[in-house]
Homo-oligomer: A and B are copies of this chain.
């Protein structure tokens, strides 16, 4: 691992510190800025699809979040940086007011990147003043700042996935970074771990931070199941492709098959064939497909079809959680700055539970029994998306290590492919 990577990892130590304080605030916010340091202003403007946002928008929106939910609420006579930003950088909070039309975010060339960075500085100055007097901060305010930091980490991940998506449209295949020295290893055999039936507690129970959608914790009865010891690799997914996986309707959900034909899917996103060789577009540009690495950028539909093809299924989110809570939160996160999944290591137990790729579960994103959204404007943060989406677990190679945990629930529509999303298998036991 290179020296520069080491230095950066050190600086990340602040990010992983817990609790709301100046050092952590600066570390999280600084990490966002660091992600953009090699980008040109042009790179930060464009939007490649309505689901994705320009980097410049992410930079502004995360500051907007602190300004709107914390500064405006806690500082008397706070004069907002620019009243037009209230609408321009509101993502989806109807309770805050109107929102600039999402699919048009790429048309907002002003404020420029410099001006957005000035906005960030302005917000940081006021936030630091607040954080200078932690004794004066109410528990509610501390919680809101915590939400703001967690929110910033979520957008760090989106900045990278949105940028990757944008760059993929450019026939010059721009590289966000130089090719990292990825640790390599041979593919280890996939093994099945048995978990017996029983009544479990699902959801977050601790004292630390968790999103509302991880609560309340509740009893859940699980049938016995088997759980794959590692993620599915590119080599394994390639076998599915070569067996005609994308041409066999019996392997696909009805909606999946209709979509596949319409979009002419033939492989995961970012895969392309040059002659007989498969290439993959990565944040380090176009690369040869590495067979031992986990398959990534597949939709739920593809993950589900792959599982059916090999006589298995995807795990439920409860199964995943029960397995994951015995694993340490370690792995290949954004902190390692590979920005790319790496192959599994040999050894007993289950591997790659955290980091590398988000793992599709077969669980639709729904409220836990007794779920209540937070009061106020943040009620819209998670609850209103509890329909039509599927739960993913475990974080990815562009997630912060300090952001993820066993109970963490991510969610995307089943056709989404631009996240680092991959495949973990499970099996029912009769």
Within 8 A of B (CB), among A88-125: 88, 92, 94-95, 100, 104, 106-113
Looking at the assembled complex, report how far the CB atom of A55 sits from the nearest CB atom of chain B, in whole angstroms: 10
Rounded to whole angstroms, the CA-CA distance of A74 and B388 in the bound complex is: 42
Interchain CB contact under 8 A, A172 and B223 = no
Looking at the assembled complex, report how far the CB atom of A275 sits from the nearest CB atom of chain B, in whole angstroms: 18
Interchain CB contact under 8 A, A88 and B362 = no
User: What does the 1/0 interface line of A369-408 toward B look like (CB < 8 Å)?
Assistant: 1100000000110001111100000000000000000000
Rounded to whole angstroms, the CA-CA distance of A113 and B44 in the bound complex is: 13
Interchain CB contact under 8 A, B106 and A106 = yes
User: What does the 1/0 interface line of A221-257 toward B look like (CB < 8 Å)?
Assistant: 1010000000000000000000000000110111111
Query: Which residues of chain B come closer than 8 Å to A48, judged between CB atoms?
Result: 107
Within 8 A of B (CB), among A146-165: none
Looking at the assembled complex, report how far the CB atom of A162 sits from the nearest CB atom of chain B, in whole angstroms: 12
Rounded to whole angstroms, the CA-CA distance of A10 and B197 in the bound complex is: 49
Q: Output the nearest chain B residue to A252 by Cβ-Cβ distance.
A: B384
A109 with B174: in contact, given A42-B56, A94-B249, A249-B94 (CB under 8 Å)? yes
A44 with B42: in contact, given A95-B250, A430-B370 (CB under 8 Å)? yes
A428 part of interface (Cβ distance < 8 Å): yes
Interchain CB contact under 8 A, A40 and B41 = yes
Contact of A254 among B316, B385, B414 (CB under 8 A): B385
19 A–B contacts, CB within 8 A, in A order? A43-B110, A45-B109, A46-B46, A46-B109, A87-B171, A92-B254, A94-B257, A95-B250, A107-B169, A108-B170, A109-B166, A109-B170, A110-B172, A197-B219, A219-B223, A253-B384, A254-B384, A255-B388, A313-B367
Known contacts A40-B41, A46-B109, A254-B384; 19 additional CB pairs below 8 A are: A40-B109, A40-B112, A41-B41, A42-B45, A42-B56, A42-B113, A46-B106, A48-B107, A95-B250, A109-B166, A110-B170, A110-B174, A199-B199, A220-B221, A223-B369, A253-B385, A301-B387, A304-B387, A362-B366
